Amino acid sequence: MSLTTIYPEFYKDFCCKADRCQHTCCAGWEIDIDAATAARYRELSGPLGEAIRQDIVEVDGIWQFRLRADDRCPFLREDGLCELIREADESILCDICTNHPRFFVTLGDYELAGVGLSCEKSCELLLAEETWLHFRTESGERLSFQEVLQRLALPVSDEDLGYQTGLTADDAAFVLDCMQKTEPIDEAWTAQLAKLRAGRLAGDADVPQCFDRIYQYILYRALEHVTQYDWGTVLSYAQLNTDFIYLQYRLTGQLDESIRRWSEQIEYSTENVRILLESLAGL
């Protein structure tokens, strides 16, 4: 069966910032190597092959790069560039390094593609416009977000399409209670939650227009969970996470970083996504 790929309009504008990135994806994460690339690395001749074999390790049947003590990839140079690309070219990279932060999920007859928001470039592209999201198919057809949801046979209403403002103190406390249940990515995340609890939690009437766009993208990213959870739960998940980003933005004044840190904690943790969805299921 042939799938129709849908992607946000800004998707094809993505390009890694490399040495200009302040939050490199080459540090702080385990870097799994797909089986085909691991086999190629084990057979690669010359000094580069020897260097790679010294810095990969098999863990529970999966090959990984052996991270340095500071959790950096051994081939991440001090100038922020990749030594593997410098010595060879991008074709030498494993699948995860080639594709990150792109994602691809199948829903019915459609493949939904996009870029994860833990990447600062992805956040920049998302926030480059304030208008509601539009999407493209591989044939070039342009779709509104409503049309995407209709293609997926989801029972969308006008109210579902935008971020619901008017966050109350009780709403904010519920959002933080849900976030408190997730496994923290680091101590800074826990400290941030404490600051949010100590701050003024009610929302303002003046919410930047781009929050509709943020909400829509989080909802788009969560559509893969519709088959396991009901549509109402997925809508609530998108609203709750957008509420949390709004609270962080209110506290810090840094919207792009509020989105990026949320993504590190939630979007890139299968377990934390599950925790939030199950907390909202049946409410």
Give the per-residue pLDDT at 205: 61
Check residue 201 and give its pLDDT.
Answer: 66
Instruction: Check residue 199 and give its pLDDT.
Output: 79
In a domain, 18, yes or no: no
φ, ψ for residue 72, nearest 5 deg? -95, 145
pLDDT, tens only, 9-63: 999 999 998 889 889 889 888 899 999 999 999 999 999 999 999 999 999 999 9
Q: Is residue 21 part of a domain?
A: no
Looking at residue 195, its pLDDT comes to 93
pLDDT for 203 equals 61
Phi/psi region, residue 71 (left: phi>0; alpha: psi -120 to 50; beta: rest), is left
**Greatest extent of the chain over all pairs of C-alpha atoms, in Å:** 63
Same-domain pairing of 258 and 167:
yes
Q: Is the pTM of this model over 0.85?
A: yes
**267 and 190 together in one domain:** yes
Helix runs in 31-161, H state only? 35-43, 46-54, 83-87, 95-99, 120-127, 145-151
* Same domain (yes/no): 178, 276: yes
| Residue ending a domain, choose from 99, 115, 140 | 99
Contact indicator for 203, 167 with CB cutoff of 8 Å: yes
Please tell me whether residues 258 and 164 are part of one structural domain.
yes
Per-residue pLDDT of the chain (283 residues; tens, 9 = 90+): 689 999 999 999 999 988 898 898 898 888 999 999 999 999 999 999 999 999 999 999 999 999 998 999 999 999 999 999 999 989 999 999 999 999 999 999 999 999 999 999 999 999 999 999 999 999 999 999 999 999 999 999 999 999 999 999 899 999 999 999 999 999 999 999 999 998 766 666 689 999 999 999 999 999 999 999 999 999 999 999 999 999 999 999 999 999 999 999 999 999 999 999 999 997 6
- Residue 254 covered by a domain: yes
Residues 93 and 178 in one domain: no
180 & 251 share domain: yes
C-alpha to C-alpha distance for 252 and 246, rounded to whole angstroms? 10
Which single residue is written with the structure tokens 């904010």? 172
**Would you say residue 110 lies in a domain?**
no
The total number of structural domains that make up the chain:
2
Residue 193 located in a structural domain: yes
Residue 274 domain-assigned (yes or no):
yes
Provide the 8-state DSSP code for 2.
P
Domain of 199, in residue numbers? 158-280
Decide if 54 contacts 8 (C-beta within 8 A): no
Q: Omega before 155 cis (within 30°)?
A: no
User: With the C-alpha atoms ordered 186, 191, 194, 198, is the resulting torsion angle positive or negative?
Assistant: negative
Q: Return the sign of the alpha-carbon dihedral for residues 275, 276, 277, 282.
A: positive
Helix (H) or strand (E) holding 136: strand 134-137
Last residue of a domain, one of 60, 81, 99: 99
Q: Is residue 109 part of a domain?
A: no
DSSP helix/strand/coil, 167: coil
SS3 content of the chain, % helix, strand, coil (to 5): 50, 15, 35
- Can you read off the two tokens belonging to residue 127? 């926030």
Whether 163 and 86 share a structural domain: no
Are 166 and 95 part of one and the same domain?
no
Distance from C-alpha of 208 to C-alpha of 281, rounded to nearest angstrom: 29
Of 49, 74, 99, the one marking the end of a domain is 99
105 in any annotated domain: no
